[in-house]
Structure 1
Amino acid sequence: MEPDLFTAAAEDRQEKEPASSPLAVRMRPRTLDEVVGQRHLLKPGSPMRRLVAEGGPGGAGGRAGASSVILWGPPGTGKTTLAYVVSKATDKRFVELSAITAGVKEVRAVIDGARRASGGYGKETVLFLDEIHRFSKAQQDSLLPAVENRWVTLIAATTENPYFSVISPLLSRSLLLTLEPLTEEDVRGLLRRALTEERGLGGAVELPEDAEAHLLRVAGGDARRALTALEAAAGAAIAKGEPEITLATVEETVDRAAVKYDREGDQHYDVASALIKSIRGSDVDAALHYLARMIEAGEDPRFIARRLMISASEDIGLADPTALPTAVAAAQAVAMIGFPEAALTLSHATIALALAPKSNAATTAISAARADVRAGLAGPVPAHLRDGHYQGAKKLGHAQGYVYPHDVPGGIAAQQYAPDAIHGKHYYEPTRYGAEARYADVVEKVRERLRGENGG
């Protein structure tokens, strides 16, 4: 029974002494109507509304037989908040564990406490398990008895795709809700509420527009980060006896210089364009400068990673066949780790791409091929290349006369592959840069073989 008493005491302290709690905790919504963003989850009749109204995921609000909820979304979008609101609205105990620090032992202790609480004084428990994707399969298996027997209402949070990171038995028993990133307006509204509400800063300081804009950039759509930065800046301003939080104070407290960069305006595209053009021009230092500007402005790291993947194919291609795998690996790593560590991965990829040999041959090749298709240069597929795996294909002459390349010395059969309309046209014109020089030698020999020349 001791864990229950400690939990209750902690909750009482939080309600009686809100000023001693972090601002992000004090501003935690108490009802669904106070939740910022996630309008798709909170509209009338939504699964989340029905879940709260009917007491848990097992009610009509959840999927048939569901006994847990999985919240999937980026950091700072309200996963912990929604779990807390569910526990409050349904009058259940709220116990929070993190998969980073907790193991099977801690999970079993919570489940045992939940069973005692339910049997002893009829109080059901919401177990919020943060970052469930960090649990191994065996650790996730340990949750199944509690979920199946409804000893706890499990609400699990993950920043990774649950179809890859959560075991199937648990997923099949869960109501999956996807959270969307908060918009700048969502975070702005939260900051302004925190400034004025009594449980927040109670109007102790004001926040000018330039300082607010910088806080929004620093937050990058993360509500918790925004409130933490606001609390630090407000504390510094109050300590200095200043009536408002200046931009200088915000810069000082978050240890970051204000970057003039509008993620929704021209500079967003200008800086992104400059990054790619610097990589294309092999100026690694300029590329790193623009990358730094995007990072410091709070740019979505996934946006940067997507641009790098495009650059790898558009400007490097086969001149360095490792460029695209490097960019893809960076994008995957960024999705898994997020900022601030993702900055290292983006730097790694940017340097590799900037210093790689360059070729736009893949870009010009597909552009030329698509232009011909749009111009009507298509024509029927040659008869010997058509599908012959159906009755009557032989009578039509389909797949007849096809030469199987593996049966020919060298593995290249002298036969026509392209439609008549473009037969003999060359779209791919390799450069002599980097690894593509090898492809330049190979492609001409292959074309000679296909024409039946040079011993083909």
Structure 2
Amino acid sequence: VARSSGRHFEEISAVSAGVKEVRAVISAARRRLGASGEETILFIDEVHRFSRSQQDALLPAVENRWVTLIAATTENPSFSVVAPLLSRSILLTLEPLGDDDIGELVDRALTDKRGLDSRIKIEDEARELLVRLAGADARRSLTLLEAAAATALDSRAPAITVDHVSEAADSALVRYGEDEHYDVASAFIKSMRGSDVDAAVHYLARMLEAGEDPRFIARRIMITASEDVGMADPSALQTAVAAAQSVQMIGMPEARIILSQAVIAVAIAPKSNAAYMAIEKATKDIRDGKSGPVPMHLRDAHYPGAKKLGHGQDYIYAHDEPYGIAAQQYLPDELEGARYYEPTSNGFEANVTKRLAKVQERLKMR
């Protein structure tokens, strides 16, 4: 870009540079612009490595057009780049390489003089494994190829085999940046919610292999058990809580078995978000100013003088009533008749629906 536009080019790596280096480049760019009118393109690699203060130091230069900033990051910029800088930028997303692209790169590296210079070949199955282990990462594919080739050449093998690739890789390294942490966690939760047990277990394994904290995973399972299963199968939350406690006591690698059981239980359970929707509706009313005073008969009456204020007067003790249901007003006057919990007909909640209808009928008998 700099060469085609006739501009000066400067490059900084956020891994090793700090605010001092950034300011020095910007100062030189200002002098150059003022003295000769020559503009500067500043390229910053791994910009997500810069702290917030370091990124803020770039703002004046960008706003005043002292430099044209081009920054590269392997992380999601929505999480790794400060909002003021991001709002002044054009975001270009480079899509992952496909298997054919990685395969072509491997083939070229085998024959190119800058690579292995045709000193060794690779078997088809080994090539397929290497491409798969690379996970759309060109750099990783070359690293694996180099290591596998070194092993094969040391053993005087005529070609790189599956065993050579496996030995070089040790295990499939899961590509997992901060943005993928959120993407995989989101897919994990949505798979449990959508009742796709196989997808849910896949994403569980993916997170564990990437080194995700099993306690984080356990928390996601507990939340899903309540938010998306709820009263359709109350035992799902019990299973999720038991799994979370077991993970704390046992740890990895055995904790993966417990997490798998909990994930399967939540994924195959009947679904209901009625409990989630109930608290959402109630919270909205509170935030909208709909609350009102607590009815007098429900107020605390245990302290001296409370009865003189009318607290607890005419309160009906539920256990003295038929079926243990006391027909009296519970909600504030302003919310009388409000309905927050609306059970579904899914799973156990179908029984709850029938019971709730009977309870509500008795509550009206006051």
Higher CA-based Rg: 2
State the partner residue of 1:33. Answer: none
- Asked if 1:182 corresponds to 2:97, the answer is yes
**Number of matched pairs:** 277
Separation of aligned partners in 2, 1:417 and 1:426:
14
> Is the Cα–Cα contact under 8 Å of residues 39 and 67 in structure 2 kept in the other structure?
yes
The reply on whether 1:291 has 2:186 as its aligned counterpart is no
Q: How does 1:49-448 map to 2 (within 5 A)?
A: 55=5, 92-98=8-14, 100-112=15-27, 114=29, 126-256=41-171, 291=205, 295=209, 318=234, 319-320=236-237, 351-352=258-259, 354-355=261-262, 358=265, 363-365=270-272, 409-411=329-331, 427-430=345-348, 446-448=356-358
Shift of 1:452: 3.9
1 or 2 for the larger relative contact order (CA 8 Å, sep ≥6)? Answer: 1
Q: 1:416 to 1:96 in 2, by over 3 A?
A: closer
Q: Secondary structure at the match of 1:96?
A: strand
Q: Tell me: CA distance 1:216–1:122, structure 2 relative to 1, closer, same or farther (3 Å).
A: farther
SS in 2 for 1:128: strand
Cα distance in 1, alignment partners of residues 338 and 2 from structure 2 = 66
Deviation readout 1:130-182 (Å, 9 max, x if unpaired) = 34334333221101233234444322123444344433432233221012222
Partner SS state of residue 61, structure 2: helix
Deviation at 1:407, TM superposition (A): 7.7
Q: Deviation of residue 92 (structure 1)?
A: 4.9
* Distance (whole Å) between structure 1 residues aligned to residue 41 and residue 252 of structure 2: 37
* Per-residue CA distance 1:176-204 (angstroms, 9 max, x = gap): 10122221112111111222222332222
| 1:190 aligned partner, one-letter code | L
Structure 2: runs of 5+ lacking an equivalent? 174-190, 211-216, 245-250, 274-290, 296-328
Q: What is the root-mean-square deviation in Å for CA atoms of aligned residues?
A: 5.5
Matched, 1:450 2:349: no
Q: Cα gap change, 1:359/1:216 in structure 2, threshold over 3 Å: closer, same or farther? A: closer
Give the counterpart letter for 2:237 in structure 1: D
The 2-side partners of 1:102 and 1:53 are apart by: 24
Give the superposition deviation at 1:451: 2.5
Shift of residue 295, structure 1, vs aligned partner: 4.9
- The whole-number CA distance in structure 1 between the counterparts of 2:49 and 2:147 is 30
Between 246-255 and 128-137, report the one with greater CA deviation.
Answer: 128-137
Q: State the Cα distance separating 1:122 from its structure 2 match.
A: 8.8
In 2, are the aligned partners of 1:92 and 1:124 still within 8 Å (CA)?
Answer: yes
In structure 2, do the counterparts of structure 1 residues 174 and 355 end up closer, same or farther at CA, with 3 Å as the change threshold? closer
Report SS of the residue matched to 2:92. strand
Counterpart residue identity of residue 180, structure 1: E
Distance 1:124 1:255, change over 3 A: farther
> TM-score, normalized by length of structure 1?
0.45
Query: Normalising by structure 2, what TM-score?
Result: 0.55
- Contact 2:228/2:272 (<8 A) preserved: no
Q: Match of 2:304?
A: none
How far off its partner does 1:96 sit? 3.3
Secondary structure of the structure 2 residue equivalent to 1:411: coil
